[in-house]
Amino acid sequence: MRKSQFTGRIALITGASAGIGREFAMQLAPALNTIVLVARRGDRLEALESELTSINPKLKLFSCEVDLRNRDQLEAFCDWLDESGLSIDFLINNAGLGDHGPFRESEWQRVSSMLKVNVYALTYLTFRVLPFLRRSKRGAILNVSSIASFLPVPNSAVYASTKAYVTSFSEALRAELRSSNVSVTVLCPGPISTEFLSLATRAGEIQNHMAPEWFVVPVQQVVREALEAVRKDRARVVPGAFVNFTMTIVAFIPMFIKRLVLNERARRDVTNRQSPSTV
């Protein structure tokens, strides 16, 4: 990655306390002027601040404990941004959460959290930060979606739908902003080894929905490829050659065949949940 593209920029990263968001901060730290880190866990952000400072002592850091499910906190945070004088020119909408299991057995609180964080907060932040991005000479938005956005996923029905929203929203916004100085890129990773999967597993359930090892892409590679895509002003990035190839093939499969596979997958999941010892 050439650093020049990000040198001196002011970035806002949501979900910076763990996983992909944290890795974005680590890889961008040598180049950026300022990072605004957003998450709920303040202790994690504090620890990250020390690591980032040791990478780049000149880096200015703002850790903001915001629960993105909470509209008052979200609005207050955006008001603070307006007043802070920080002219964000790189927005990374990364915070997100999942849920695994049949929709009929969902906890409403989790469904609601996914809609609020994955969809509402991402859209609202984009709306509030866009004026800063438009004022800067080179604004960039990177929205973190998923390969789950490309097709319906039984037993992750709401999660996959929220990510379909993120991918569609990003592509449409990119088209709207094409004649401006603001680029929009959507990151659609496959499975990555972060806290995400265990947090998406319901209480009392066995975590048996992990993808095979060869399909998992290291978080460092995901972030490297995502930043490269922003640098090259790409619309979409699916990190990992094998994941990318697979999703390209999937795109050409007719929907009626996909439905047969999805039905079978949903049926297998039910069987696995009934007899986990056979998994």
Ligand X SMILES: NC(=O)c1ccc[n+]([C@@H]2O[C@H](COP(=O)([O-])OP(=O)(O)OC[C@H]3O[C@@H](n4cnc5c(N)ncnc54)[C@H](OP(=O)(O)O)[C@@H]3O)[C@@H](O)[C@H]2O)c1
For ligand X, the binding residues (CB under 6 A) are 15-21, 39-41, 44, 66-69, 94-98, 117, 144, 146, 189, 191-192, 194-197, 199
Among the options 120, 124, 159, 165, which is catalytic? 159
CB of 179 to ligand X, least distance (A): 29
Q: Which two tokens stand for residue 49?
A: 């601040």
Please report the beta strands in 81-237, taking only residues with DSSP state E, as ranges in sequence order.
Answer: 90-93, 139-144, 182-187, 236-237
CB 150 within 8 A of CB 250: yes
- Of 181 and 228, nearer to ligand X (C-beta) is 228
- Of 79 and 195, nearer to ligand X (C-beta) is 195
- Of 138 and 247, nearer to ligand X (C-beta) is 247
Q: Which two tokens stand for residue 221?
A: 């590679």
With 0-12 / 13-18 / 19 or more C-beta atoms within 10 angstroms meaning exposed / middle / buried, residue 45 is buried
- Of 97 and 140, nearer to ligand X (C-beta) is 97
Q: Is 159 a catalytic residue?
A: yes
Q: Which two tokens stand for residue 224?
A: 């490297």
The dihedral formed by the CA atoms of 178, 182, 184 and 185, expressed in degrees to the nearest 10: 110
- Edge-to-edge strand ranges of the sheet holding 90-93: 60-65, 34-39, 10-14, 90-93, 139-144, 182-187, 236-237
CB of 97 to ligand X, least distance (A): 5
- Of 21 and 101, nearer to ligand X (C-beta) is 21
CB of 195 to ligand X, least distance (A): 4
CB of 274 to ligand X, least distance (A): 25
CB 143 within 8 A of CB 118: no
CB of 144 to ligand X, least distance (A): 4
Phi, psi (rounded to 5 degrees) for 75: -65, -40
Catalytic residues, by residue number, are 159
